[in-house]
Every structure is written in C-alpha cells, then in structure tokens.
Amino acid sequence: MAEPQPEPDEQELLRRLEEELGKLRVSDVLAQTVLTASQLGWRRLAPEHLDLAEARLAIDAVKALLALIRETLPPDDLRDLGQMLANLQLAYAKAASEAPEPPAEPDPAVP
C-alpha cells in the first residue's frame, strides 16, 4: 500500500501559487468575469429574483469588459460572448416590458 504523501509546507504552497499566477493573463481573468457577470445578470432576470437595476449593471459590465478584451479573444469566443450579450439584452428588454409599473409619486405641488 502506498504511503500518504506529506502535506506541502507553506513555502511550497506559496511557490506553487506564484507559479500559477505567473501563467495567468489579465485577459483570462476578464473573460471569466464576463461569464460571471452574465450569469448574475441572467439570475437577476428570473422572476423570483427580478432586479432590473442589477441586470442592467451586469449588461453594462459585460459590454465594457468585452470592449477591453476584444483583441485578445479568438474569433469563435468573441462571437459566442457577443451572442450571449445580445441574448441577455433581449431578455432584459422583455423583463422590463413585463415589469409592473412602480406607483406614481404624488405631485407635491398638488394639494
């Protein structure tokens, strides 16, 4: 039977972390953030979690991040992310059109 491997010490863990961070590109992190923001936007469009302001913020964030990383993405990924954004925008428009109107604020000039 194989003996259990000893736990790496703190210095070894730090070395491994530094090695992994050295491989990581900012554009990769931003692409992952695009996916995360999109997922949150979709969640905020679900009827049980409807929050149009949060969904709009997610859409704006995705648009801004895509503009930043456009040149670093393979064409297929860019196409897919652009389609994902378009679908999210369409879902937002649908949810906004179906959302109940907030009650009108009383006009303070009318007694």
Query: Each residue of 67-90: pLDDT tens digit?
Result: 999 999 999 999 999 999 999 999
The answer to whether residue 89 is domain-embedded is: yes
Domain extent at residue 72: 25-97
**For residues 21 and 71, is the Cβ–Cβ distance under 8 A?**
no
Decide: 93 and 50 in contact? Cβ < 8 Å.
no
Is the residue at 2 inside a domain? Answer: no
* Segment 14-59, tens digit of pLDDT: 999 899 888 889 999 999 999 999 999 999 999 999 999 999 999 9
* Residue 58 near residue 44 (C-beta atoms within 8 A): yes
Residue 75 covered by a domain? yes
Residues near 37 by beta carbon (within 8 Å), at least 6 away in sequence? 58, 61, 62, 65
Q: Is residue 12 part of a domain?
A: no
What is the pLDDT at residue 2? Answer: 66
Number of domains in the chain: 1
Contact call for residues 37 and 61 (beta carbons, < 8 A): yes
In a domain? residue 48: yes
* pTM recorded for the entire structure: 0.75
